[in-house]
Structure 1
């Protein structure tokens, strides 16, 4: 089974005072994976960044590709700057993603979690593997004793890694309250667990840090989620938001994509943007600027089924 989803993500900053100079870095380029193929990506930035072509002309794929760089995990980033006065910044990203069903985590198969943790321990002569760095601490998902104790409730006995991961996903969903504005982008996993609330970013960080506290490898995935309103209620444009979930490394089943915010494995509703050790590696947009005063931020994300016959631009290569 496959589905096509159209994603539209707009970030708008309106500044109290004019910005004199600004430099931004972004992670907004969706990636191709075995379960996701991106058939189009358009980027609009207003005002047009310095050195990004001619004002008033749309950037083509070759022009966009010139500004992209890859990080160690294969995500594509870009940076841009303005050395002129402006009072508003708008970054508009849109694309179409074709999603295939990925294998569901099988709790009855695979190794037990303790043997996986043992295999991830460093020892002389062991070849490095992809999962190794995702078992280490990172800024927002660092192991600690409280997180380890919390994780052991899910990873009890010698249950399989997949069974433990699914149990931890459901445990976080039950124990933490989804509460917007109860945390910030700088909230760490231990703090989110202690206050028992947060948003999808915090749910993912708690899952990742809890797994790392037991010596397991887990990574942070940023993306988008197709949300469906109750029957008979129209879907509001812009009602969706950026989303985040986690992936747990299982030697036999690969990366198990688990969404603790919704207590479901990631599926045909989950559009992958990028992955890293935690949010800090894949923040959608960040920057430094001179001037501006207080900034008002507006983010609108719309994820909808793509209708056959709609045009989709070619994605830039890099």
Structure 2
């Protein structure tokens, strides 16, 4: 069992005032069997009213608007979470893919999470699975071997991918970060016929030195009829442990995006995310990342360049 104090700060900055910012956030830690949310607080610039609801996958979602003109928006999520994964390795489970068939028929959600994405290089996915599926194996064994394959054949490298990177691109370059490896594992499991979902959260540093620790993290959960949803972390080739804190689940990253929104105005925006993790013994870890945002259209880019020129002339 472990208790973590996590502070997640998202900061948007604009070089020109914008207005009517409309936002959707998934920054509410999960209450589930192995995770208890002891405290949670949200602090947002201009203190807007937040309307909270639940989405299709059971995540708490907050929606808020900021109508006044502003050049900065900070969203700070503070949480105190207790995690207790009593079984770090699942029980021996003989359930096969064929055994899953009847459970998937009775659940639209399981069916939805069983269909792989349509990608160009699906042949490469099937080629990876071929030696793994040569014999009749349990669902747990197949999932664990897919997890291990990614860890052994793909290199953890920051800065070469972004939120728009596709599974095809990951298969081609064989490099990426936790989000990329989670999407690849989802493609493998779903192609094999195993229901699987994307998980957004945090991995808190420990003495083993896990990859991706101290920041937002992503992993995968797959379904078994006897043990429910089991978590695998392909970035580290491990089952989820006491230091994995869950935020939200969905079909992919887009269902779990911590913050997304839109605004009125022409301005260049920058985004930085800071995650601070504190332990009961007083230790604290912090990581700050500048996030690469989606590219704008050429038309918008020309307008932004024109505004930059006007600003330079006024100086």
**TM range, smaller chain:** 0.7 to 0.9
- Counterpart among 84, 96, 116 of residue 100 in structure 1: 84
Equivalent residue for 1:165, pick from 140, 143, 167: 143
Pair 1:306-2:280 in alignment: yes
1: distance between equivalents of 2:208 and 2:191?
38
Higher RCO, Cα 8 Å, sep 6+: 1
Deviates more, 1:165-174 or 1:247-256: 247-256
CA shift digits 1:3-56 (9 cap, x unpaired):
11111100001111111321111111111010000011000001322xx2xxxx
3-state SS of 1:111 partner: coil
Taking the TM superposition and a 5 Å limit, the aligned residue runs for 1:1-318 are 2-49=1-48, 52=49, 67-106=51-90, 108-113=92-97, 115-116=98-99, 118-119=101-102, 126-128=105-107, 130-137=109-116, 144-228=122-206, 240-306=214-280
Any stretches of 5+ residues in structure 1 without a counterpart? 53-63, 232-238, 309-318
Unaligned runs of 5+ in 2: 283-315
Matched position secondary structure for 1:192: helix
Matched residue, 2:290: none
**Residue equivalent to 2:285:** none
SS in 1 for 2:162: coil
Query: Residue 281 of structure 1: SS of its match in structure 2?
Result: helix
Distance 2:237 2:154 in 1: 11
Q: CA RMSD in A?
A: 2.4
Residues 100 and 224 in structure 2, CA contact (< 8 A), matched pair in contact too: no
How far apart in 2 are the matches of 1:106 and 1:285?
Answer: 33
Q: CA deviation at 1:307?
A: 5.5
Secondary structure of the structure 2 residue equivalent to 1:271: strand
Answer whether contact 2:100 2:225 (CA < 8 A) is retained: no
Q: Which has the higher helix share?
A: 2
Distance 1:151 1:117, change over 3 A: farther
CA distance in 2, matches of 1:292, 1:302: 32
Quick check: 1:112–1:161 contact (8 Å CA) kept in 2?
yes
Number of residues of Structure 1 aligned to a counterpart in Structure 2: 279
* CA-CA distance at 1:142 after TM superposition: 9.7
Higher mean C-alpha deviation, range 71-80 or range 180-189: 180-189
Which TM-score applies when normalising by structure 2?
A: 0.81
- Distance in 2, matches of 1:116 and 1:211, equals 15
Deviates more, 1:5-14 or 1:285-294: 285-294
Aligned in 2, Cα 1:253/1:230: closer, same or farther, shift over 3 Å? Answer: closer
The structure-2 alpha-carbon separation of the partners of 1:69 and 1:106, relative to structure 1 and needing over 3 Å to count, comes to closer
Shift of 1:131: 2.2
